[in-house]
Amino acid sequence: MSGPGYAGDGGQQPARQGPAGWLIGLVVVLGVILVGLLVYIFVFADDDVDSAEPTQPPATTQPADEQDAADDAAEDDGEAADETGSAEAPEEETTGGDEAADSGVADLQAPPNSTDEGGILVDGVVPSADVPHVIIYQDYSCPPCKFRHDDFAPVLAELVEEGEITVEYRTAHFLDARDGATGGSIRAAVAAATADTVGRFADYQAAIYENQGSDYPPALLRDEIPQELGIEGDDLAAFQQAYDEGTYLDFAFVAHETFLNSGANSTPTYVVNDMRLLFGDTDTNEVFIENTPESFLDAVTKAFAGEDDRTHEPLAG
């Protein structure tokens, strides 16, 4: 007979598992879970970070004031016209042609109806002390210059023919944005000066403005406009040779530098006796000078005589 504390059949009593064993098992399970979490965090989370694309460094920046100044300069270079109805010239002078400008046209090849300041006289009529002389600063890429030319060129031509005024065009090229001799404005300026050698400055200039927006490619200036105007024979050969050789490139730089040093600051600017003509009030849209011979001559005469009037102001003012 088996007594208490003995196994039957002569075997040993099996070991008994108390509450402490369950606690140990639970701790082991929890430990395994914790290790798994740590492995996931360090392995998979690192992989996510390593696979992310690095943030690109910012582009070089300027201080706010310098950036604003740079933006303003860029707007001035590319700006065709501002709210006053004129194209603003940059304060800095365009590179190129400095030596030509310093010497004037005396040592250069110049068109037959040119002035020492790089201008071209309408119909070749030379200024005199007793007749008002109108100086026009323009840029062939300037839209307001085209509008003003279209409105007033016939008026100017009539007054010149009648001996009431003389007129001189000085053509700048600041809207080429400092491209030197490669931009459309200076190509057109050189071509117009070249047309003066065959007596066709006025109608060639009108054709240039009719093609504004084309950037004036060489084929247009050299071939298409002359053909349109009926320039042919010896005149065409002379025109194309002078254009191909850039005969009046330095002359165009003289006109440009004269403009930059004139105080005009924008195009179009019409000047009489160091007075800037004011064609109207851009705030009220009131017109001061009509595109009629009578209205224009009245404004010119008052500026020439130094009379106070709303149609002009000092150029340097």
- Check if the beta carbon of residue 291 is closer than 8 Å to that of residue 155: yes
Residue of 286, 293, 168 whose CA lies nearest to 311: 286
Report residue 145's pLDDT band, with 50, 70 and 90 as the boundaries.
very high
> What pLDDT digit, counting tens, does each position of 192-221 carry?
999 999 999 999 999 999 999 999 999 999
Cα distances from 232 to residues 42, 124, 225, 240, in angstroms, run 86, 22, 11, 10
pTM (two decimals):
0.71
Could you tell me where the DSSP H helices lie in 107-248?
A: 143-161, 184-196, 201-210, 218-219, 225-229, 233-245
Average pLDDT over residues 298-309: 97
pLDDT for residue 60 is more than 60: no
- Check if the beta carbon of residue 140 is closer than 8 Å to that of residue 184: yes
Indicate the average pLDDT of the chain: 79
Task: Give the separation between CA 138 and CA 90, rounded to whole angstroms.
Answer: 14
Can you say how many angstroms the Cα of residue 131 is from the centroid of all Cα atoms in its chain? 37
Task: Give the separation between CA 259 and CA 174, rounded to whole angstroms.
Answer: 10
Average pLDDT over residues 286-314: 97
Q: Amino acid letter at 98?
A: D
The predicted structure's pLDDT at residue 25: 66
- Check if the beta carbon of residue 173 is closer than 8 Å to that of residue 89: no
The predicted structure's pLDDT at residue 91: 58
The predicted structure's pLDDT at residue 86: 73
More confident residue, 57 or 187: 187
pLDDT for residue 71 is more than 90: no
3-state helix, strand, coil in the chain (%, to 5): 50, 10, 40
Which domains, ranges and CATH numbers included, belong to the chain?
70-314 (3.40.30.10)
Burial class, 123, CB count within 10 angstroms (exposed 0-12 / middle 13-18 / buried 19+): middle
Counting residues of the chain whose pLDDT is more than 90, the rounded percentage is 63
